[in-house]
Amino acid sequence: MTDRTFFWWLQRRFLPLLLFAVCAAAQAQERYGLSTWVEDLKATRWESGAAFAGVTALGLTSWDWGSSKFRFNSEGWFGPETGSGGTDKLGHAFFSYALTNVLADRLVRAGRTPERAGLSAALTTQAIMLYVEVFDGFSGDHGFAREDVVMNVLGTGLAYARAVNPRLRDLVDYRMEYQSSGYKGFRPVSDYAGQKYLLALKLGGFDALRDTPLRFLELQAGYYTRGFSKMERADGFERSRHAFIGVGVNLSQLLLGRRSSQESNLRNAGRLLLEHVQVPGTAVRSTRDF
């Protein structure tokens, strides 16, 4: 299956199924409706407001919002001819995933059920991400890209699945690793040359390994690109795409131990951070360039 065929299938087959699952989840929630979402939106007003303000500031200062009439733009996926080799697409999925997780966690700690918290967090996140994409449509550098919308939904979908299934949350993390490339200062959101994205399978999530030293380890698979920015090419770097597999240290397990429903806010915040941010130098990897 080629990349083009796979992503056609992703958009035409998997995405509608995912949306159907979300709608079914909404119907399954007793008395869940617009008023429920609004209530939960108010409960996460600081987190949601910070996310909204942050993306608006980035849109106006870094994404050239307002520089063009509204337009659609097919950006492609992970090919060598795309703007970042697909790193930006993984970034869309990651931001949607992370924001959904943060909002769902806040709602659960406020007393909502995981199902309600996950659904409300998913709806809020997708509203914010749709806002971003619409205003990207008014950017001469971006445009409204359906590929971004697909990745936004996939990221939120994974976060929702983790919210309602504690076993999956104990097993799988989606993380970003960042080291400044030296071209844009410290800008984790837009410095694609310094980003790596990965899925981590945490061995401590398996019952048979939960009480063994292997609980501190995880298996990783990820992707990153280099040489796609104008500054990199000006320095003689060629475009390259890299996939990797490896074994890493589960820092959340090592430093914070097992998750507890009685965790303090500080401990919970540290766990959330380590479940989303991969600390450089904490894994051994084998990389394939293509």
pLDDT per residue as tens, the chain (290 positions): 455 555 555 556 555 655 555 555 555 555 788 999 999 999 999 999 999 999 999 999 888 898 989 999 888 899 999 989 999 999 999 999 999 999 999 999 999 999 999 999 999 999 999 999 999 999 888 889 999 999 999 999 999 999 999 999 999 999 999 999 888 778 888 889 999 999 999 999 999 999 999 999 999 999 999 988 888 888 888 999 999 999 999 999 999 998 887 889 999 999 999 999 999 999 999 999 88
- For 242, other C-beta atoms within 10 Å of its C-beta total 16
The verdict on 30 and 76 lying in the same domain is: yes
CB of 38 closer than 8 Å to CB of 108: no
Domain match, 197 and 91 both: no
User: Is residue 222 located within the same domain as residue 83?
Assistant: no
Among 116, 131, 164, which residue terminates a domain? 164
Parallel, antiparallel, or unpaired for β 172-178 and 277-278?
parallel
* Judgement on whether residues 6 and 149 belong to the same structural domain of the protein: yes
* Class of residue 87 by CB neighbours under 10 A (exposed 0-12, middle 13-18, buried 19+): buried
Whether 189 and 137 share a structural domain: no
Residues 141 and 175 in one domain: no
Same domain, 47 and 103: yes
Residue 275 Cα distances to 7, 54, 95, 145, 278, angstroms: 27, 21, 13, 28, 8
* Partners of 241 in the β-ladder: 225
**Domain stop point among 146, 164, 182:** 164
Question: Are 39 and 124 in the same domain?
Answer: yes
Please give the Cα distance from 150 to 102 (Å, whole number): 20
Same domain as 97, residue 187? no
179 with 37, same domain?
no
Measured distance CA(110)–CA(62) in Å, rounded: 35
pLDDT attached to residue 88: 93
Total domains present in the chain: 2
- Rounded to 5 degrees, what are φ and ψ at 16? -60, -35
What pLDDT, on a 0 to 100 scale, did the predictor assign at position 114? 95
User: Of the residues 104, 136, 164, which one is the last residue of a structural domain?
Assistant: 164
The domain in which residue 236 lies consists of: 171-290
54 and 129 in a single domain? The answer is yes
Do 102 and 7 belong to one domain? yes
